[in-house]
Structure 1
Amino acid sequence: MADHNPFPGENNTGHIWDSDLRELKNPPPRWWMIGFWTSILWVVGYTILYPSWPVGEEATPGILGWTQIEEYERGVAQIEARRAEFESRIGTLGVEEILADPGLTQYTLASAKVLFGDNCAACHGSGGQGNPGYPVLADDDWLYGGSTAKLTETITQGRKGNMLAHQDILSAEEVDTLARWTVEMSQGEPGSEAGWQLFSTKGCSGCHGPTANGVLAELPGGEVITVGAADLTDRIWRFEPGGYESARHTILYGVNQSGVEQTREAVMPAFGPTARVEDVEIRRLDPQEIKKLVVYVHLLGGGL
């Protein structure tokens, strides 16, 4: 900084850097000063009209009495008023009647998307594609049936698969034969005679059905009787990655078998109004929300 002002007569402060860098005392432009004082007046006016200054646990209320909560509640009320007509109709109609009404179906899908994201997407994926270890909802392969009635039953009551562990029942050779037969069936082959023999005599057909497609009986109207056993005749594997080793593991250790360390786990919780988690009753979804989810899942691509 210079000790003497080398720019006499200039309106500067006398602070000089690097020989010629100095600080002037010129007033700000008029437009800048107008904006400056206007902003001060605006702040004063705002603090008078709206909640602003913290006083104790609350802020000064402002003479307009406006609050964000009240504005939010008004917005929610407007949305609910708009939805009321659709929600009322959904409450009085069955799932099939909703699906028959294109406009109501579109509303239901939009409404159910949030429900699906909050309750289902963690396991089944955001688009129903199925996360690792969980079923795909966007195809037409259903363990318990894909009709709207079955979907309602599944979402409300939940599902828990069950398959006996055969590690102490079958010999190593029999397990190997059945695992290879399962792979053959999944590839569209007829399956070995030895495999069919074991399938029939070891009780497998009691759950997977006489033709190994998971269906015990077909009813008029497309409904089927099933206990949730997998269809062994398609290329879809309940437990990835599929193939010989996967089939062998499932045969040996079963599904949801208590006391079997390597058993497969396949449980879907109940989402009904009186669902229980670890013997504690909690509120999950009401009947109307379940109805919306049934429509949503049905139209993901795999409903029957």
Structure 2
Amino acid sequence: MTQVEAELHIGIDAEKVVVSPHRLRMRTGRAHRSRAGLVLEVVPAAPSGRSRESRVAIVWQLGLGLLICCVVLNAFGLPWLVPALVSASVVVLVGWAQARAARPGVLASPRGDDGHVLRAREERIAYERAVAVSHRIRRTWPALRGMIDPAEADHTLTRALEQLAALLARRQQIRALRDELIEAARQELPADSPAAEALAAQRTRVEELWRETGLTANRMLRGIAAAAHAGETLLREQEIGRTARDAEMAISRLAAVGAAAPAEAGPELAERTAAVVKAYRELAAF
């Protein structure tokens, strides 16, 4: 039985990054969805810009048109109840869709432990950069199809993005706890206070976790960037190699044409012209 690869859904809006194994929903607004292998990216669509007055006018015009259709059906003796109910549903649906399109798009946070939400600016920027680098990696795969297995590479890259999201979410929690402990340490307490000693011990432990997660995150980010650099470097080398081979073939053809070419006619014409002019002058002298 074939194993189904797990998808990864990544959403980025103005206030957070959401990473989840499940389909992402919008809290408000609409979204643009795009797929790249096992990764499905969700980006909020721009608001429609229609004012409430404009939306109400459109709904009224639509409702009036549907009402006229129902009246015409009734005049011809046709059933009108079902068309009237359908028309009312259409009017409500169009009004709801327009109101949703007019609002800025905001992603809904996943429920429970179904995903990771990055709200801190530093973690958001780091993950967004990693997603951008993953696009560069994927662009190299078509030219490297004979050297790598795209399906395996897609699975590995998707797993790396999921692991990075989990690590950055953990680091975000450590950041909040670290800031809380720093703020608590500003309170004046006696040096021999048990509370001060406990606080110092916890701050030491938090700083260790902070350094560990920072080193791990940097290592993962460098690994993703190195994969993109390696693929792009290989593509450039292949392109330069093709250019060199094409140039070698062109130079060989040009050299062969030059070797087989007849004697240059320009110098010969100049010599003959000079001889004719000389002979003419000698005849004119007599």
Q: Which has the higher helix share?
A: 2
* TM-score grouping bracket, smaller chain normalisation: under 0.3
Q: TM-score, normalised by structure 1?
A: 0.19
Larger Rg: 2
Structure 2 length as normaliser, TM-score?
0.20
